Amino acid sequence: MKKIFIVFILFVAVLFTAHAQKFYFDIGLGVGGAWTKLDDIDISDTFKSANINFKEVGVDLGLKAGFRPSARLPFYIALVFGGMGHRLDYIRDYFQFNSYLIGPGLIFYPVQSIQLAGSIGYSFVGNQPSLPVYMLKSDSGFAGDVSIAADLGKTNHGLLIGLRYFGARNTINISRTRQNSSGLSVFLRYAFRNKF
């Protein structure tokens, strides 16, 4: 909860420092494939080799707020809060591996209808297994993402349809297990920005 409060304060700071005509905001979700390794052991491969029948899905979330430093430059500087969830359902139980990213990002428009974006920063984990295990949270880690999207909309309100790659490295508290998570997803996001 403390980390989410800090993110909220940072977003408010960005909102107050940005001029209205230079402001950028987007929010949305995506779905796709995800991969999680614990101490270099792929969780999905472990389930397959044990002949466990399971379903898995990757879900991503994203929120960006920022500003354009110059009216002549086709890019925005943003604060990013994003993440990825990798869920494995089996029998009546599940594992939900959640990795989050908080950090700076850059949003670039090579042309008006195409957006390229990337971010890098602090990462933390909040896993949610149905069974009690000692690998639920991490103190800190490192994460990044890159995306490409079609930016639809002729006014300041638009829709982003794109592809995103996310990766995170964390060390889990207590067990000291290394968790490497990655995902590739297709996303939809609402975006508020000034058209160039």
User: Which CATH number covers residue 48?
Assistant: 2.40.160.20
Residue 188: which domain range? 2-192
Q: How many helices (H) and strands (E) does the chain have?
A: 2, 9
> In the chain, how many domains are there?
1
DSSP 88-122: EEETTEEEEEEEEEEEEEEEEEEETTEEEEEEEEE
Residues 76 and 23: their CA atoms lie apart, in Å, by 9
Residues 28 and 111: their CA atoms lie apart, in Å, by 22
Q: In the numeric block, which tokens belong to residue 144?
A: 């990044």
pTM listed for this prediction: 0.84
For 146, residues 6+ apart whose C-beta sits below 8 A from its C-beta are 116, 117, 118, 164, 165
Cα 184 from chain centroid (whole Å): 10
Which DSSP helix (H) or strand (E) runs through 61? strand 54-67
Place of tokens 């960005």: 14
Torsion of CA 132, 134, 139, 143, to 10 degrees: -80
Place of tokens 């042309």: 111
Q: In the numeric block, which tokens belong to residue 14?
A: 């960005």
Tens digit of each residue's pLDDT, the chain (196 residues): 465 556 656 655 555 554 545 889 999 999 999 999 989 988 888 888 888 888 889 999 999 999 998 878 899 999 999 999 999 888 888 888 999 999 999 999 999 899 999 999 999 998 887 776 655 777 789 999 999 999 998 888 999 999 999 999 998 887 788 999 999 999 999 999 887 6
